Amino acid sequence: MKTAITACAVLITALGFSTSEASLITSSGDAALLGATVDDFSSYAVDTNPASVSDGIFTMTTATPSTTFLSVRDSFNGSYGIVGRSVVDYNGVGLNISFASPVSAFGIHLGAGDVDEDWILEAFNPAGTSLGSDFITGTVANNASGFFIGWKDVSIGSVTLLPSIGDVGIFDNLTYAVPEPATFGLMSIAGGALFFLRRRFRRP
């Protein structure tokens, strides 16, 4: 057992990541997003009310997609830190974002959040198990200019972004990092090893 733990620790160290990497991102300049894809929503038709917005890798819907929809607008350009086109949740229910392939990190710019309101982010692995949650509380400053919120982990399958009180959200620059195939394979091996060890520790 000790040998297995030591081997797993060496593997994780060699890969350069640990479970402590599961955490909130508050800047588009975070190192976890280096080389990431940024969708600024400029390719989507304006003045539409789609059930979802997708580039084939991510699919974004409201948190209650069966009853509410998103809006694509140019009207917030220059407000709340928005540049150009944005996606708006006028329903005030928040977002679901799912990924066709696991990503190692993601983030999005949020504008128009109310002062003293929390925006709660929860990330899930591809199997739907929570990786953790955190929040950003609206301030006068980030009400005026918006803020960036995201999550980094070894394998993210989906996220939810919810207001603590129903509030319109204006979204821009959805950013995500897709691991290289070889790197993701090694991450999966290490993740499986950690899962095995946790189960071993829990057995009586």
Contacts of 163 (CB under 8 A, 6+ apart): 92, 93, 94, 113, 114, 117, 118, 119, 120, 169
Q: Computed from CA positions of residues 104, 155, 16, 109, in that sequence, does the dihedral angle turn out positive or negative?
A: positive
pLDDT at 193 over 50: no
pLDDT at 181 (0 to 100): 66
3-state SS of 52-67 is CEECCCEEEEECCCCC
- pLDDT tens for residues 71-125? 999 999 999 999 999 999 999 999 999 999 999 999 999 999 899 999 999 999 9
User: Which of 7-21, 23-37, 117-131, 166-180 shows the lowest per-residue confidence on average (mean pLDDT)?
Assistant: 7-21
Give the CATH class of 21-202: mainly beta
Domains of the chain, by residue range, sit at: 21-202
Q: How many CA atoms lie within 13 A of 132 on its CB side?
A: 15
* Res. 12 pLDDT band, cuts 50 70 90: very low
Q: Which helix (H) or strand (E) holds 69?
A: none
pLDDT of residue 50: 95
Answer for the pair 131, 123: CB distance below 8 angstroms, yes or no.
yes
Integer Cα distance of 92 and 29 in angstroms: 28
- The pLDDT of residue 180 is 75
8: pLDDT confidence band, cut at 50, 70 and 90?
very low
pLDDT of residue 1: 46
- Stretch 158-182: mean pLDDT, rounded? 91
Q: For all residues of the chain together, what is the average pLDDT? A: 84
CB-based contacts of 90: which residues, under 8 Å, 6+ apart? Answer: 71, 168
How far is 150 from 67, CA to CA, in rounded Å?
26
* Tokens coding 167: 């509030």
Alpha-carbon span 146 to 109, nearest angstrom: 7
Q: Name the percent of the chain lying above pLDDT 90.
A: 73
Which residue type is seen at 37?
Answer: T
The per-residue pLDDT for range 47-62, each reduced to its tens digit, is 999 999 999 999 999 9
Select the highest-mean-pLDDT range: 17-21, 75-79, 177-181. 75-79
More confident residue, 184 or 67: 67
Output the CA torsion sign for 57, 63, 65, 66.
positive
Q: Please report the pLDDT score of residue 22 as a whole number.
A: 85
